[in-house]
């Protein structure tokens, strides 16, 4: 694996266009150096440690399977280097600055508080720290969505701040198989006010307002808000293939759930 300057991966260096209204989403093509991306793709985690949900999605999470996830990164230097970069306070701080207008629009006055990055440090046990600061943590999920897998539209839990997705598209993947992350606006805004943030809402309640196509070495992302409806329509690839991605989530830590994964 060839070493490279990770400074080129900061969002402030790579974002050229960010859609803000009605929600913030973006994408960056050719995000990683090609040889580094190849090293990641060739060592993508097998399915032995994945957990499945009822939508068909399979995940290998740093917050739940922490020991196996660390062991996987230790055994694969390219993955360790990338995870360490995304875990760094420097990346988190840069992402916040690069997406400042969208974060302020989504969170209002709450976004005025300084962030306290607890990804690599102990979570504070003094409740006053949660009043004057915003403790946050970055978590990871190696994601696999096989044939018929689907991500039903939702906005994400309010504790999420920024979500990023790095796509690993197989060389023989066809566009007709799907895999894009779509962004939506409700057809009935009044009805949408009754939906909870983690509710899964049927696709036919929305119109598509944008999409980050499932392309090789593409980083896509969005800022979580009450309008950040997103999903992935059912995958139609042949059996044995899957939509593979690394999900990076920057989350705030509530005092009442400060020890939750």
Question: Cα separation of 71 and 256, whole Å?
Answer: 30
pLDDT of residue 48: 78
Give tens-digit pLDDT for 81-110.
999 999 999 999 999 999 999 999 999 999
Give tens-digit pLDDT for 102-137.
999 999 999 999 999 999 989 999 998 888 999 999
Domain spans of the chain, in order of start? 18-256
State the pairing for strand pair 25-28/134-146.
unpaired
Please, what CATH class does the domain formed by 18-256 belong to?
Answer: mainly beta
pLDDT of residue 36: 96
Tally of helices (H runs) and strands (E runs) in the chain: 8, 12
Cα dihedral: 7, 103, 245, 4 (round 10) = 0
Give tens-digit pLDDT for 146-173.
999 999 999 999 999 999 999 999 999 9
* pTM greater than the 0.85 cutoff: yes
Question: Cα separation of 180 and 177, whole Å?
Answer: 9
How many C-beta atoms lie closer than 10 Å to residue 202's C-beta? 8
Give tens-digit pLDDT for 233-260.
999 999 999 999 999 999 999 888 787 7
Looking at the DSSP assignment, which residues form a beta bridge with residue 193?
A: none
Looking at the DSSP assignment, which residues form a beta bridge with residue 249?
A: 139, 163
Give tens-digit pLDDT for 168-206.
999 999 999 999 999 999 999 999 999 999 999 999 999
Please say if the pLDDT value at position 218 is more than 80: yes
Mean pLDDT value of segment 7-14: 94
């Amino acid at each position: 694996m060839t070493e490279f300057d990770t400074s080129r991966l900061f969002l402030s260096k790579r974002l050229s266009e960010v859609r803000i209204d009605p929600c913030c989403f973006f994408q960056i093509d050719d995000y990683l150096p090609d040889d580094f991306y190849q090293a990641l793709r060739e060592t993508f985690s097998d399915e032995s440690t994945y957990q499945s949900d009822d939508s068909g999605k399979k995940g290998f999470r740093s917050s739940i399977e922490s020991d196996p996830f660390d062991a996987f990164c230790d055994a694969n230097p390219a993955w360790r280097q990338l995870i360490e970069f995304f875990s760094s306070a420097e990346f988190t701080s840069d992402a916040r600055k690069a997406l400042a207008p969208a974060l302020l629009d989504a969170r209002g006055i709450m976004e005025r508080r300084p962030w306290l990055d607890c990804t690599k440090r102990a979570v504070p046990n003094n409740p006053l720290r949660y009043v004057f600061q915003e403790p946050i943590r970055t978590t990871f999920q190696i994601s696999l969505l096989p044939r018929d897998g689907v991500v039903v539209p939702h906005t994400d839990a309010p504790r999420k701040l920024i979500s990023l997705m790095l796509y690993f598209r197989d060389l023989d993947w066809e566009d007709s198989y799907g895999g894009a992350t779509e962004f939506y606006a409700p057809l009935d805004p009044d009805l949408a006010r009754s939906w909870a943030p983690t509710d899964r809402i049927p696709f036919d309640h929305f119109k598509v307002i944008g999409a980050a196509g499932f392309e090789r070495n593409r980083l896509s992302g969005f800022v979580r808000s009450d309008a950040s409806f997103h999903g992935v329509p059912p995958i139609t690839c042949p059996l044995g293939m899957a939509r593979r991605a690394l999900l990076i989530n920057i989350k705030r830590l509530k005092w009442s759930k400060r020890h939750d994964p």
